[in-house]
Amino acid sequence: MESWTIENTSLNNQELLTNESLFSLGNGYIGVRGNFEEGYQEGMTSIRGTYLNAFHDITDIEYGEKLHGFPGKQQKLLNVIDAQTVEMHVNGERFSLFHGDLTDYKRTLNMKKGFVERSMKWKSNQGDVVKITSRKLVSFHTREFYTIEWTVEPLTSRPVDIKMVSRVNGDVANFSDPNDPRVASGHSKRSKVTGVKEANGCFVVENETYESCLKVACATSTSFYFDKYDYDFTLDNKGIEEVYTATINEPVSFVKSIVYTDTLRHGEQTVEKAIEILNEERHVPFYEHLKRQENDLNQFWSTADITISGDEELQKGIRFNLFHLLQSAGQDEVSNIAAKGLSGEGYEGHYFWDTEIYMLPMFLMTHPEMAKKLLLHRYSLLDSARERAKEVGHKEGALFPWRTITGTECSAFFPAGTAQYHISADIAYSFIQYDLVTGDEQFFKEYSAEVLMETARLWLDTGHFYKGEFRIDNVTGPDEYTCIVNNNFFTNVMAQYNLEWAKKAFDRLKDYDHSLIEKLGVTEEEAARWEKAARTMYLPYDEERGINPQDDTFLQKAVWDFENTPSDHYPLLLNYHPLTLYRYQVCKQADTILAHFLLEDTADEETIARSYDYYEKVTTHDSSLSYCVFSIMAAKLGKVDKAYDYFMKTARLDLDNTHGNTKDGLHMANMGGTWLAIVFGFGGVRVKESGLSFAPNLPKEWGGCTFHVYYQGNVVQVEMEEAKTVYTLVQGNQLAFNHKGQSITATKDCVVTVTH
Amino acid sequence: MESWTIENTSLNNQELLTNESLFSLGNGYIGVRGNFEEGYQEGMTSIRGTYLNAFHDITDIEYGEKLHGFPGKQQKLLNVIDAQTVEMHVNGERFSLFHGDLTDYKRTLNMKKGFVERSMKWKSNQGDVVKITSRKLVSFHTREFYTIEWTVEPLTSRPVDIKMVSRVNGDVANFSDPNDPRVASGHSKRSKVTGVKEANGCFVVENETYESCLKVACATSTSFYFDKYDYDFTLDNKGIEEVYTATINEPVSFVKSIVYTDTLRHGEQTVEKAIEILNEERHVPFYEHLKRQENDLNQFWSTADITISGDEELQKGIRFNLFHLLQSAGQDEVSNIAAKGLSGEGYEGHYFWDTEIYMLPMFLMTHPEMAKKLLLHRYSLLDSARERAKEVGHKEGALFPWRTITGTECSAFFPAGTAQYHISADIAYSFIQYDLVTGDEQFFKEYSAEVLMETARLWLDTGHFYKGEFRIDNVTGPDEYTCIVNNNFFTNVMAQYNLEWAKKAFDRLKDYDHSLIEKLGVTEEEAARWEKAARTMYLPYDEERGINPQDDTFLQKAVWDFENTPSDHYPLLLNYHPLTLYRYQVCKQADTILAHFLLEDTADEETIARSYDYYEKVTTHDSSLSYCVFSIMAAKLGKVDKAYDYFMKTARLDLDNTHGNTKDGLHMANMGGTWLAIVFGFGGVRVKESGLSFAPNLPKEWGGCTFHVYYQGNVVQVEMEEAKTVYTLVQGNQLAFNHKGQSITATKDCVVTVTH
């Protein structure tokens, strides 16, 4: 059972901010950081935050020099009304973990049951001893709901006077740090309180944002379980305070029920809706919420869980990553998965390519219905992408923004933002993957085909034919240490695939449904141009080294002087001007190597192997999106030890805070990357038009590893061991797949064992 | 005489802002826009400005995403204390050109004498008629001084009550327009009044800037020339008001004497120094100031003037440009020539490469002592350039900022700013030109050699050897429509020249003075590396087209679709995202063509001719730095008609406001370009190690053209006519030069006539 929990067994003041991210709870809609309900001590920093996925204000982007097409506005995920606060006073002395005497402290994130618990024994300065247990749960059953329970037990013989203070505070702001480009600067206060009221034991605080004029309502109610107590409440123009006082000599418990509604999901009736939901939930006992939560999580873990024998810390790390992916995934029409999920404010709650390339695969192959919702959200941004293409200067097509919440470009630095045109192909790729994994023709016809054709149009308008080849100039690939280049290999292969599939979509639809083709005005000639551009796509290849160059001139540059770069100069982006970085062969992350993973058939195995060896030497992994790709490719190339080393850097990146900025939120793409590294890396899973295939390669450190994949209505359980792989069809009747070149058909109730 | 003046003969409300720039006066230190002393009407915009060259505040540069090495601060030229205001009331009615009845209006900029005069006959609404003449003069004799004179003559028989109000206002701010990237946005109010006082008939207003804490003092005094008048004055916390009232029946005159001192030039004693200078100047009669001014201007025009017969408007245009160059040129240790001179606030008063490449040659070859001061100022920024190199990530060398006042980088958009590394070679080039033109060995030893060697170090640390060639990656050339490229031809040839001359400097100094070599720690080995890098410099050449590509991949891009670009989409930078521009073959301005002008021996004549034809087709001339270069190169290539067409676009660019933004200040580099186009273009002047040469090519539209050039202690007058060129040595005893391949020696008192 321990490998289902993450624990703090002592209080470390240096780790408080990091732990706020690690112990954050969420359900795809609400995210609550792992703050202490009672707060820290005066003078200590806390990023005290509650977020609603996509709930944002609009802020100005400032430029010293603003050129045409630079976005003037961006969205910013807002810290909303703070309902976390619960304070306690024992015989008049305020409880805090930072004074008095703390023993038996334990904080636990229970990932199987989906809640956080703190249990502690505390002795006040006056000598009173109490045992406190606080539990927090953000509900998957009712996405608008979360709840906090405190139980307090006096451990001294004499009765103690206890005071519980519960607050809801609408006067909130975001965290800001002007010196770190990776966290927001300025614009920290972006909403105002517009209403505070009490109605039949419910309290409601309403906020409205400054510019986007979005409203959020937070309805709360509290209960105090003890025979006799006094109660009072106060409302002011910022929020609510409730006070319970009692003299206790036995355990007492306090429960706070919290509901958030917002304009994006609940329209104008946020208050009414919040009260309605609260009234449904507030009378459900806490243990019942726990039960519901566990049921919902069981459903998730049934296919998402991965078990590894032989390394409990790793097992925890993997579940931790999967659990947070679940907690972050927007499942409604207005939200997606932010780069930091709902665990922090880094990257301002924006959605990047991270979703499609790093996170979506886990959902797609374990819970395709969740992947579908993420794709539907991305589809909803297609019109904005069409507008953006025009704004930048394209005649047609859809250019998806590098970072966004509502669909408009929010990147303030285009060389590593808007210039990353590959995001449009990445999105197309994810719709193709969805098609291959689910075979959902209705979805293809209604959504995927349109995305494929509009992005294909972008490529045609971006690239050009030169000496018989189709070339794409002036874009930035995934590696942000080399910006604005011609013929980035990654971009070109992804665009090629995009164009091929646009032609396929045209051919597929024209046989039975012309409506989309007519709506978009696609002609046979246009579709033929897509095919031609794909067929003649220029893919740079260096004869001398036998590798794919990252772009036209990457290999002509000098190699970065790694030997003379002090270790405290990493990450390089915090220590060198971008121009200096661009001038050398040095990669922030996988670029060509990622292309070789996503589209492995575009290069032969020897080229892939040589490229791997070459780029590995010049990659700093300053991006958290890098290790997992290197791990997958090392596994593919049979370098299992190396794959394992890289994998271990992904698995506990946040738990061990190896990037040093977990306080700003969890690295969600890396978390998705952990799943990819196991399933696509060690499991060797691929999904292509030719079908599903496996190529297991178990690291020698592990006794075994079990995972599940969904494929076209079936779910297969894969148990990898050193000497064999066992395939069990746990859903569906029959599934044909390939195991290292061998065709296998698994049928219901029949276990297939392949010995190595 | 008319071709010495620029005139307005009627009042055009639409042209007021443009005329403020055109009629601006300056002396390299003070600049005063051509505002009306009495102001416009309520609700009309005026960019009312007085500037002191280099007098700046420090402001924050905002970034949506700030990366390492992005400057966080910049300097901004400030609008200083406004002493222009003179108001007049006639029989209680306030005089304004925008009411009443205006006849005989004429505003004249007299470029031979150096003042602006407005004369006007005005009938008030009450029917009183007065003749008013106002004159403004910014003194070259005493750089801290300027003066305004008004004469008022009643033209009605009955006496009129006249009231003259003179003001000095310290509560000033800069102009701002958030929607145009070429003018400043925000930060408009950047100084506060710190003192207002009266002392013995002098008034002093002091301002201090917010961040740079620079002080400026403005001392003024006024005189009213009439038998009998009343006088009063008021001081408040923003400035001064003086009021003269009289009943007049004959002409009366009013004179205002104004002195500016600042911390940059006068240290802490700004007030004392201002009063001292004012006391020297205030008693000098206005006509005496006029005389001094004319003397100073005669001295300038003696070698700087260019006469052209056959086109009076053009003649005016040329003198206008030269006059404004003179007015803009900082001649002290803290200032240089801003992109807009002292005529407006565009580009925030920053110094760019414009000085060295476009403006300095005129000074160098007509008034080398002025060029020397400009170079000394640039030399004073060398230490900052060394620091900047380190900051960006270089191990050594000097990286001059793309735009600056005090020496720190002020560019907020590095792809078209810091990335323009060529500025360091451009500066080196200008020191070399100075050496060639003056032969001033002392200057070379003390200043030029150090600049050459420190910039050479930058190139060595920026480029690298690859397959036996020295290559320079990731820089931006002059053409800002194609940023961050490898092996920009312009940059590489300029760096090559820079490196060659650094080696020469080393060899020259080591023969007789080791102090600099020792100070910099240059070794024989290092100097040999400079020579090797220069010798093996990779200069891209396209065999197929027989031209020099602008950079490694420029010619592989698609050509911009000029045919389908509506004319209102120019300048392209205001209508397309930079990425879109970068993706095509389209140039904002001369780039390779400029390289072929500055260093014509790096390519053969055929290549230069083919390159000219090629780039001409893809250049939009959206930069005002473009036409003159195309004109020079067309002249060189014998396309005199074309050269003439381009020239005509430079000559009156501001007078005709062809770029539409003259209101923000004059295009100084273009003004320098006019001189270049005549002297280096039609005159075919070149200065190389081999000496001075001419290759005259008179446009058929002109009867003749006369100019002077200075060369190594001599001044030669060149009279170009259709059938002959006449060389007259007007200073010096003997001068050998080359005329279209023919060696000529001119001697004193001997006119050399070459017939064509």
Residue B166 lies in a domain: yes
- Asked if the Cβ–Cβ distance from A393 to B474 is below 8 Å, we say no
- Asked if the Cβ–Cβ distance from A471 to B556 is below 8 Å, we say yes
Count of H-run helices and E-run strands, chain B: 21, 31
Q: B475: which chain A residues are within 8 Å (Cβ-Cβ)?
A: 579
Chain A's closest residue to B418, CA to CA, is: A579
Average pLDDT over residues A342-366: 97
Nearest-Cα distance to chain A for B470, in Å, is 11
Site from B58, B59, B60, B65 to mutate, A interface, most A CB atoms within 10 angstroms: B65
d(CA B66, CA B72): 8
pLDDT for A511 equals 87
Chain B's closest residue to A420, CA to CA, is: B579
Residue ranges in B267-380 assigned as alpha helix (H) = 270-281, 286-304, 312-328, 354, 360-366, 368-379
Residue of A414, A417, A553 with shortest CB distance to B486: A553
Segment B647-684, tens digit of pLDDT: 999 999 999 999 999 999 999 999 999 999 999 999 99
Show the tokens assigned to A123: 């002795």
One-letter identity of residue B624: S
Show the tokens assigned to B593: 């063509």
Residue B193 lies in a domain: yes
Q: The tokens 């201002």 sit on which residue?
A: B274
Q: B419: which chain A residues are within 8 Å (Cβ-Cβ)?
A: 579
pLDDT for A183 equals 54
Identify whether the C-beta of residue B360 lies closer than 8 Å to the C-beta of residue B57: no
Residue of A394, A471, A484 with shortest CB distance to B582: A484
Identify whether the C-beta of residue B204 lies closer than 8 Å to the C-beta of residue B196: yes
- Asked if the Cβ–Cβ distance from A579 to B484 is below 8 Å, we say yes
Catalytic residue chosen out of the listed positions B144, B241, B348, B480: B480
Which has the closest alpha carbon to A24: A658, A660, A668, A666?
Answer: A666
Residue of B393, B419, B466 with shortest CB distance to A556: B466
Segment B527-565, tens digit of pLDDT: 999 999 999 999 999 999 999 999 999 999 999 999 999
Identify whether the C-beta of residue A219 lies closer than 8 Å to the C-beta of residue A272: no
Chain A's closest residue to B480, CA to CA, is: A67
d(CA A88, CA A120): 13
How large a percentage of chain A has pLDDT more than 70? 98
CATH assignment at residue B237? 2.70.98.40
Q: Packing angle between helix B312-328 and helix B286-304, nearest 10 degrees?
A: 110
> SS3 of B121, please?
strand
- Asked if the Cβ–Cβ distance from A577 to B181 is below 8 Å, we say no
Q: How confident is the model at residue A750 (pLDDT cuts 50, 70, 90)?
A: confident
pLDDT for B178 equals 61
Nearest-Cα distance to chain A for B554, in Å, is 10
Which has the closest alpha carbon to A104: A128, A136, A129, A125?
Answer: A129
- Asked if the Cβ–Cβ distance from A64 to B69 is below 8 Å, we say no
pLDDT for B199 equals 87
pTM confidence score:
0.94
d(CA B470, CA B538): 6
Average pLDDT over residues A389-409: 97
Q: A471: which chain B residues are within 8 Å (Cβ-Cβ)?
A: 556
pLDDT for A200 equals 86
d(CA B285, CA B144): 17
Site from A404, A474, A564 to mutate, B interface, most B CB atoms within 10 angstroms: A474
pLDDT for B145 equals 98
Q: A395: which chain B residues are within 8 Å (Cβ-Cβ)?
A: none
Distance between first and last Cα of chain B = 31
- C-alpha distances (whole Å) from B363 to each of A202, B223, B709 are 81, 38, 10
Identify the domain containing residue A226 by its residue range: 2-301
Q: Which residues contact B201 (CB under 8 A, 6 or more apart)?
A: B221
- Asked if the Cβ–Cβ distance from A392 to B580 is below 8 Å, we say yes
Average pLDDT over residues A538-566: 96
One-letter identity of residue B14: Q
> SS3 of A43, please?
coil
pLDDT for B715 equals 97
Nearest-Cα distance to chain A for B545, in Å, is 14
Residue B73 lies in a domain: yes
b/e code B635-658 from CB counts within 10 Å (16+ = b): bbbebbebbbebbbbbbbbbbebb
pLDDT of A710 higher than 80: yes
Ranges of chain B with pLDDT below 50: none
Phi, psi at B467, each rounded to 5°: 50, 45
Residue A279 lies in a domain: yes
* Burial classification of residue B177, based on how many CB atoms lie within 10 Å of its CB (0-12 exposed, 13-18 middle, 19 or more buried): middle
Q: What is the dihedral of CA B663, B664, B669, B673, to 10 degrees?
A: -10
Segment A269-279, tens digit of pLDDT: 999 999 999 99
pLDDT for A182 equals 53
Residue of A68, A412, A556 with shortest CB distance to B65: A412
pLDDT of A740 higher than 60: yes
A vs B, Cβ pairs < 8 A, gives 162
Show the tokens assigned to B58: 């420090």
- Asked if the Cβ–Cβ distance from A64 to B62 is below 8 Å, we say yes
Residue A236 lies in a domain: yes
> SS3 of B504, please?
helix
pLDDT for A460 equals 98
d(CA A652, CA A670): 10
Write down the mean pLDDT value for chain B. 96
- Asked if the Cβ–Cβ distance from A68 to B578 is below 8 Å, we say yes
pLDDT for B174 equals 94
Which has the closest alpha carbon to A25: A666, A505, A692?
Answer: A666
Segment A501-515, tens digit of pLDDT: 999 999 999 988 999
d(CA A688, CA B369): 75
Beta strand pairing call for A686-688 and A691-694: antiparallel
- Asked if the Cβ–Cβ distance from A62 to B64 is below 8 Å, we say yes
Which has the closest alpha carbon to A578: A472, A474, A479, A475?
Answer: A479
b/e code B131-147 from CB counts within 10 Å (16+ = b): bbbbbbbbbbbbbbbbb
d(CA B133, CA B139): 19
Show the tokens assigned to B717: 């007058």
- Proportion of chain B in helix, strand, coil states, percent, rounded to 5: 35, 30, 35
Q: A555: which chain B residues are within 8 Å (Cβ-Cβ)?
A: none
pLDDT for B416 equals 97
DSSP states along B330-360? --STT----TTTTS--GGGG-B-THIIIIIH
Residue B168 lies in a domain: yes
Q: A475: which chain B residues are within 8 Å (Cβ-Cβ)?
A: 579
Residue of A70, A484, A577 with shortest CB distance to B68: A577
Residue of B62, B557, B580 with shortest CB distance to A62: B62
Q: What residues of A are labeled active site?
A: 480
- Asked if the Cβ–Cβ distance from B579 to A484 is below 8 Å, we say yes
Long-range CB contacts for residues B226-233, cutoff 8 Å, separation at least 24: B226/B252, B226/B253, B233/B198, B233/B203
User: Structural domain tally of chain A?
Assistant: 1
Torsion sign across C-alpha atoms B550, B553, B559, B560? negative
Identify whether the C-beta of residue A663 lies closer than 8 Å to the C-beta of residue A344: yes
- Asked if the Cβ–Cβ distance from A418 to B474 is below 8 Å, we say no
DSSP E strands, B12-141: 25-26, 30-32, 50-60, 73-79, 86-90, 93-94, 101-110, 115-123, 129-138
- Asked if the Cβ–Cβ distance from A473 to B411 is below 8 Å, we say no
Chain B's closest residue to A560, CA to CA, is: B464
Residue B68 lies in a domain: yes
Segment A179-217, tens digit of pLDDT: 655 555 566 899 999 999 998 889 999 999 999 999 999
Q: B63: which chain A residues are within 8 Å (Cβ-Cβ)?
A: 62-64, 412-413
Identify whether the C-beta of residue B736 lies closer than 8 Å to the C-beta of residue B744: yes
Segment A430-449, tens digit of pLDDT: 999 999 999 999 999 999 99
Q: A484: which chain B residues are within 8 Å (Cβ-Cβ)?
A: 415, 483-484, 579, 582
d(CA A78, CA A409): 18
- Asked if the Cβ–Cβ distance from A62 to B63 is below 8 Å, we say yes
Question: Please, which residues bridge with residue B734 across strands?
Answer: B747
One-letter identity of residue A679: V
Nearest-Cα distance to chain B for A580, in Å, is 6
Residue A63 lies in a domain: yes
Average pLDDT over residues A113-137: 97
